[in-house]
Amino acid sequence: MDKEKAKAAQQEVYKTALDMYHSGMVSGTWGNISARINEEYMAITPSGMNYERLSPDQMVIVNIDSLSYEGPLKPSIEAIVHAEIYKNRPDVNGIVHTHSTYALTVATARKEIPPVCEDQVQILGGSIRVADYTMPGTKEMADACIKALDGRQGALIANHGAISCDVTLAKAFVASQIIEKTAMVYINSMAIGGPVEIPQKDIDFFSDFFRNKYGQKS
């Protein structure tokens, strides 16, 4: 493994975990964050630790195929979900999973958020689907997330939280913030009669813009 690349990924995961903490988006349980090192390995936050007391080199290096890891700290129990997404989405190099309040609120109602905000459509690719309810940290949860993320950069997970992914971890973190904001706007708009969806032709425009901007295949 390229040691420099691994170190850079650990540093990026650590920094993003702290950014997430300072953003106030997390309360209670943390969620987890990862960055792809290469086709074989990812760096992911360790299980059940206070990130502020950790250092970048304690971000766990995990084999994407076998889930074996190096060092004394266990990776997040949701490492399997991250690994399966990396296997299925070659375009993805960073993943953020949160239990943020507004996303979780909509996820408990198991409601797909229609395309209602421009930045939602641009950054996440359209509606925010809900991955089926499954036990955390299982292959079933990974499969449900992959299905809900098809053609998208973000999804809700039924009764659990949200997950976002993108070409870089920095972009995946932005996507996680857009999910939380969209969920809040969606809930608020329901109190004043419900949101009006963005017309399909404009969604197509935003999708084209998104694909060209990020160089993805159409």
* Catalytic residue ranges: 78
Instruction: Give me the residues paired with residue 32 across strands.
Output: 97
- The single-letter DSSP state of residue 100 is -
C-alpha 63/C-alpha 144 separation (Å) is: 21
Q: Which residues contact 50 (CB under 8 A, 6 or more apart)?
A: none
Angle between helices 169-190 and 101-109 (to 10 degrees): 60
Q: Is the dihedral of CA 18, 23, 28, 31 positive or negative?
A: negative
Taking the C-alpha atoms of residue 161 and residue 26, their distance in angstroms, rounded to an integer, is 11
Strands 161-166 and 154-157: antiparallel
